[in-house]
Amino acid sequence: MRHTTITDLAKKLGISASTVSRALSDHPDINDNTKKRVRKLAKEFNYKPNPIAQSLKNNRTTIIGVIVPEIQHDFFASAISGIEEVAYHAGYTIIVCQSNENFEREVINTNALIQQRVAGIVASISQNTNNSDHFKSVIERGIPLVFFDRACEDVSASKVIIDDSKSAFNAVTYLIGIGYKKIAHFAGPKVLEICKRRLAGYSEALNKAHIRISKELICYGGLHETDGYNSMDSLIKKNIIPDAIFAVNDPVAIGAFQRIKEAGLKIPDDIGIVGFSNNKITTLVDPTITTIDQPSFEMGKKAAEILVGLIENKNKSAKPKTVTLETKLIIRGST
């Protein structure tokens, strides 16, 4: 079955394609009666303009590009869902790309989206992104760009983030408040800004409480379960046993959690644990894990809303804005 085109309608009505086009877009030049006839036939044949042809004219599609490190990751899956939700209601579809935390692939994806003439891009950068030329060329091309969670600091674009530093500060301050003294931090990749800030919040909390920061209690690693597991493992092997752990995110917390259980230590009595993100999993383990609620779905939604705004107000070259969403310390059984 072929798609009905504007020319098909024109032929059937004995008028020109341009008149049909104008009638459908309610152009004042067109006679009301003609408009009615056109609309009736269009409905009858379920005519929908070919978006490709429109895109060719506008040199722009109605597709929003989304780049995330990993689709599978709870946080991103949820954020994508939020983006899709907003895009759907605004009449856009979303193309989803994953960088797999790989810089080259992020560049390739970005360029592919530019080539595809997406209307805008929502992105969260990979942990290995140390150069932002690809995002700068997005800006240069006049394509609206919004970061969420992990932003590129040296790119002038809007972002939806949380206050990582403050959130971390609050969590660690809470740990100190309930009596923990030897608090370790399982940090993420040093290059990732959000990780730096979480580390900074951790340090600040210790400083404020006049607790000396011990380098051996700060373990750097990745963002996955195995990283938390390994960090805990190496501490145990070095016989350094903290009385609490502030993990850079929930998977890392879970990894540490498992290794602690294997070691026969009790949570929260021997070791307290705080995660970050409020992944579903933290409510399902025993004990449940104290964590910081990071509104992933809302972050996706908000980022998409800003992007749609930028796309549809091309004229108002608004300055990039930064939206900081609230987090919340959720106290559970692990502390």
Which residues are at the interface with DNA (CB under 7 A)? 2-3, 5-7, 14-19, 21-22, 24-25, 29-34, 47, 49-50, 53-54, 56-57, 59
Task: List the single partner that 43 binds among DNA, a copy of itself, none, CB under 5 to 8 Å by kind.
Answer: none
Residues contacting 45, CB < 8 A, separation 6+: 4, 8, 9
Whole-angstrom CA distances from 150 to 87, 124, 202, 275, 304 are 20, 5, 19, 18, 15
Which single residue is written with the structure tokens 């607790």? 211
CB neighbours of residue 150 within 10 Å: 19
Task: List the single partner that 31 binds among DNA, a copy of itself, none, CB under 5 to 8 Å by kind.
Answer: DNA
CB of 183 to a copy of itself, least distance (A): 23
CB of 199 to a copy of itself, least distance (A): 25
Please state whether 240 falls in left (phi above 0), alpha (psi between -120 and 50) or beta.
beta
CA dist., res. 149 & res. 325, Å (int): 10
Do the beta carbons of residue 123 and residue 99 sit within 8 Å? no
CA dist., res. 247 & res. 257, Å (int): 10
CB of 55 to DNA, least distance (A): 9
If the CB atoms of residues 108 and 209 are measured against a copy of itself, the closer one turns out to be 108
Task: List the single partner that 77 binds among a copy of itself, DNA, none, CB under 5 to 8 Å by kind.
Answer: a copy of itself
CB of 303 to a copy of itself, least distance (A): 15
Task: List the single partner that 284 binds among DNA, a copy of itself, none, CB under 5 to 8 Å by kind.
Answer: a copy of itself
If the CB atoms of residues 17 and 241 are measured against DNA, the closer one turns out to be 17
Q: Which residues bind a copy of itself (CB under 8 A)?
A: 1, 48, 50-53, 55-56, 59, 61, 63, 70-72, 74, 77-78, 80-81, 84, 88, 93-98, 105, 112-113, 115-117, 137, 140-141, 254, 258, 261, 280-281, 284-286
CB of 191 to a copy of itself, least distance (A): 24
Residues contacting 12, CB < 8 A, separation 6+: 41
Residue 79, class by beta-carbon neighbours within 10 Å (0-12 exposed, 13-18 middle, 19+ buried)? buried
